[in-house]
Amino acid sequence: MKSNSPKVVILSGPSGSGKTTIVERLLSESSVSLQKCVSATTRPARPGEVDGVAYYFMTPEDFEAARQANQFLETAEVHGAGYWYGTLKSEVDRAFQQNAWAFLEIDVEGAIAAMEVYPDAITVFLTLPSIEEYERRLRGRRSESEAMLKKRLQTALKEVEYADRYRHVVVNDDLDAAVKEISQILESSCSN
């Protein structure tokens, strides 16, 4: 496994763009040693999501206490639904201690804050060919109520406007091709 000096990788993209699917593939297939930073969130766990694996599920009070204690690299209230998400600095440190690259899968607002702390981060924005395709994939995932799905689609439209803030934009049309493209971006950053 290649690692070189530890780096930060930031992947963003609207809900339904395939981030979770692609992260799983990259973690097992990339020749670069990657460590996913497990985010903290105040949103409830979905069926099958394990605390400490999918997220650190926190009460709003615990999240606020962690924020006051300066434990977060960045935080954002994503989708305007009142749920907070944040990257714990300890997760980035954990990756670096293992000589792995810290992999952040976070929203655009958090990504821009993290880019200020890590200006050399490898940043990738994942997108889809059309808004109709976002809707198709979100519906296919069956994880959302109708109201939440509409919110996520509204957020998607706003988020794509931030794509040009990222070094790389990858269209997740064909899954294998998108995984390959991001793997190549990571490999080509190895020697930098």
Q: Summarize as ranges the residues that interact with ligand ADP (CB under 6 A).
A: 13, 15-21, 137, 140-141, 172, 174-175
Nearer to ligand 5GP, 43 or 167 (CB): 43
**CB-nearest residue to ligand 5GP:** 110
Can you read off the two tokens belonging to residue 162?
């931030």
Beta strands in 60-100 (DSSP E): 72-77, 84-88
Q: C-beta of 96: minimal distance to ligand ADP in Å?
A: 25
Q: Which is nearer to ligand 5GP, 143 or 190 (by Cβ)?
A: 143
Q: Using CB distances below 5 to 8 A depending on partner kind, what does residue 85 bind out of ligand 5GP, ligand ADP, none? A: ligand 5GP
Q: Are 56 and 37 in contact (CB under 8 A)?
A: no
Partner whose binding site includes residue 175, from ligand ADP, ligand 5GP, none (CB under 5 to 8 Å by kind) = ligand ADP
The residue length of the chain stands at: 192
Half-sphere exposure of 77 (CA within 13 A, CB side): 6
- In the list ligand 5GP, ligand ADP, none, the entry touching 76 (Cβ below 5 to 8 angstroms by class) is ligand 5GP
78 binds, options ligand 5GP, ligand ADP, none, Cβ within 5 to 8 A by partner type:
ligand 5GP
Q: Least distance (Å) from ligand 5GP to the CB of residue 185? A: 18
Contacts of 169 (CB under 8 A, 6+ apart): 124, 125, 127, 163
Q: Determine the Cα–Cα distance for residues 20 and 164; give it in Å rounded to an integer.
A: 21
Nearer to ligand 5GP among residue 93 and residue 187 (C-beta): 93
75/146 Cα distance (integer angstroms): 26
Residues 14-32 as b/e (b if ≥16 CB within 10 A, e otherwise) read bbbbbbebbbebbeeebeb
Closer Cβ to ligand 5GP, 2 or 158, answer by number:
158
Contact residues toward ligand 5GP (CB under 6 A) are 15, 19, 39, 43, 74, 76, 78, 85-87, 105-107, 109-110
